[in-house]
Amino acid sequence: MTLREPQPLLPLPELGAVHFLAAGGIGMNPIAQAYLVAGVPVSGCDQAPSAALEYLASLGATVSVGHDSAHLDGVDSVVISTAVRETNPELRAARERGVRVLHRSEALASLMLGRRGVAVSGTHGKTTTTGMVATVLEHLDPGYVIGAKLATSGLAAKIGSGPMVVEADESDGTFWQYPADTVVITSVEPDHLDNWGDFDNYRAGFIRFGMGADVTSAVCASDDPGAAECAAKLREAGQHVLTYGVDPASDLVISDQRFEQMNSWCTVTHEGESVQLRLQVPGVHNQLNAVAAMGVGLNFGMTLEESAAAMAGFRGTSRRFMHVADVADITIIDDYAHHPTEVAAALENGRRVAGERRLVACFQPALFTRTAEHYAAFAAALEGADLIVCTDIYGSREDPIPGVTSDLISSASERDVIRCGDLTEATKVLVDVLKPGDFLMTIGSGSVGGLGKLVAEELGKS
C-alpha cells in the first residue's frame, strides 16, 4: 500500500449525488451522515446489514446490502476508503463508467472548505481528543466528524455553522488532505509501518501535517517523545506551536493530578494563569487529551477558565472505556485500544477503577501486520490484567500472513493466556471463567466491540 498525496477538492454542490462504499463502517458512516444533513443526495452499501446502515436510511439515504454495479445508476461521485479493493464490483464499474471516485479523506476535507478547521491526529487519542475539541468549541456551533459517537449528543457527525473539527487518519498519509488552520498531534509512536516503511518516515509525515499550507498553529504533546520532536521541528520551521503535558517546560502544564473511579482532576497552567480541570472520564491520557483541546480553545480566543468549564461537560465517546453492563455482580467495560501503549493505558484505567476486584482482559488483536510488529509489546501490556483471554486476529482490510496468529502474543507472555477463536467461542470462555466481583474489559478495534453485550446476555440467563 502506498501513501496518498493530497488531491484538489470540490465543494459539496459540485459532487452531485454521492454513493459511499462500506457505508456502515465507522470511518465512512459519519461522513455520509454529514453529507445527508448538508442536503447532499446520498446512497450507500455494505457487505452486511447494520444499525449504521439503518441510521443512514433514517436520514434519507438509499442503502443496499451487497455490491452491485446497478447501485451506481444516477450517481455522480463514489466515495471509497483505503480498505476498498480495486476488485470491488462497484468501484470497478465506477472506473469503467468514468464516475468520479473520491477517497474518504477527500470527501471529509470537502466539508471543511470555506470555514475554519481543526484536524486531530496521532498514534493514539485521535477520537477522544476530536470529541473534546468539539466540546470545547461548542459555543461556536462547530461541525465535527468523529470515529465514534459523543456521549453528550449521541452523534458522530454534525454540520454546524462554525469551525469544522475532524479526526485525521495518519495511517496512509491522508491527514495531509485536510485544509485545517489548527492541527493537534497527540502522540507519535511506530505504527502502520507497512505503509510508511520506517519510523523516521512516519514521524516526518506528522511534521508535514503540522506544516500544511493552511496551518497556522500546531498543538503538540510534550510528554510523548515523537510528538515532542515534531513540535521542535515545527518551531524550527517557523510554525506557531503550543505544547502540553506534565513536563514543566510545556506551554500548558498539567499538575496536581487526582483520580477517583470514573472522574479525574488536575491543575492546568498557561503563562502564569492556573485553572482547575475536572473530567467525567478517567485516566492520565484523558487529562492529556483534554488539555490538548484546551490548547485549541486558546487558538480560538477562549480563556483557560472557559475551556475548563466546557470540558467539565464532556462525558466520553463510544467504545472508549465505555460501560457496557453490570450483571451477576460483574462489571463489563469495552475499550477500542488496539496499540500496545493504548492497551496498557486502558488496563491502567481499569485497575484504577476496579480497585481490588479481579481484572479480566479479553483482547482481540487487529491487523496481521500490527500483530507481527508488536506481539511482544502486546503481551507485556496485557500483563496489567489478572486474567488474560486472547481471541483470533481481526484482519479487517488485510490478508493473513503465514505464521502470524494470536499465538505469538500468548507465547511471548510471561503469564498464562487463554486462547480462543471467534466471538462465539470467546463468549463461552468468558462466561465459564468469570466470577462474581470480576471487572471485565473487552479490548480491541474490531468486532470485539460487540462481545461485552453477548457476555452480558449470557450471564443474565444464568
Total-model pTM: 0.85
Task: Indicate whether 99 and 49 sit together in one domain.
Answer: yes
Residue-wise pLDDT tens digits, 74-98: 999 999 998 888 999 999 999 999 9
Separation of alpha carbons 440 and 433, rounded Å:
11
Task: Indicate whether 93 and 152 sit together in one domain.
Answer: no
Find the mean pLDDT for residues 59-75.
94
Q: What is the pLDDT of residue 461?
A: 86
What's the structural domain count of the chain? 3
Tell me how crowded residue 93 is: count the other CB atoms within 10 A of its CB. 18
Q: What is the pLDDT of residue 398?
A: 87
Cβ atoms 377, 340 nearer than 8 A: yes
The grid coordinates listed for 88 are: 470491488
Beta bridge partners of 217: 182
Q: Report if residue 5 sits inside a domain.
A: no
Residue-wise pLDDT tens digits, 285-325: 999 999 999 999 999 999 999 999 999 999 888 888 889 99
pLDDT-derived band of residue 1, with 50, 70 and 90 as boundaries? low
Residue-wise pLDDT tens digits, 392-413: 999 987 899 999 999 999 999 9
Separation of alpha carbons 173 and 5, rounded Å:
7
The grid coordinates listed for 272 are: 502564569
Q: What is the pLDDT of residue 283?
A: 87
Task: Indicate whether 155 and 302 sit together in one domain.
Answer: yes
Q: Which domain holds residue 99?
A: 12-103
CATH of the domain at 213: 3.40.1190.10
State the chain's mean pLDDT as an integer: 95
The residue behind cell 515523537 is 226
Q: Are strands 157-158 and 143-145 parallel, antiparallel or unpaired?
A: antiparallel
Closest listed residue to residue 163, CA positions, set 306, 299, 6: 299
CA 241 to each of CA 196, 215, 232, 292, 338: distance values in angstroms, whole numbers, following the listed order: 25, 11, 9, 12, 29
Q: What is the pLDDT of residue 214?
A: 96
Radius of gyration of the chain (CA): 22
Separation of alpha carbons 226 and 185, rounded Å:
10
Q: Report if residue 69 sits inside a domain.
A: yes
Q: What is the pLDDT of residue 2?
A: 77
Residue-wise pLDDT tens digits, 214-243: 999 999 999 999 999 999 999 999 999 999
Q: What is the pLDDT of residue 262?
A: 83
CATH of the domain at 60: 3.40.50.720
Q: Report if residue 6 sits inside a domain.
A: no
Task: Indicate whether 290 and 175 sit together in one domain.
Answer: yes
Task: Indicate whether 128 and 236 sit together in one domain.
Answer: yes
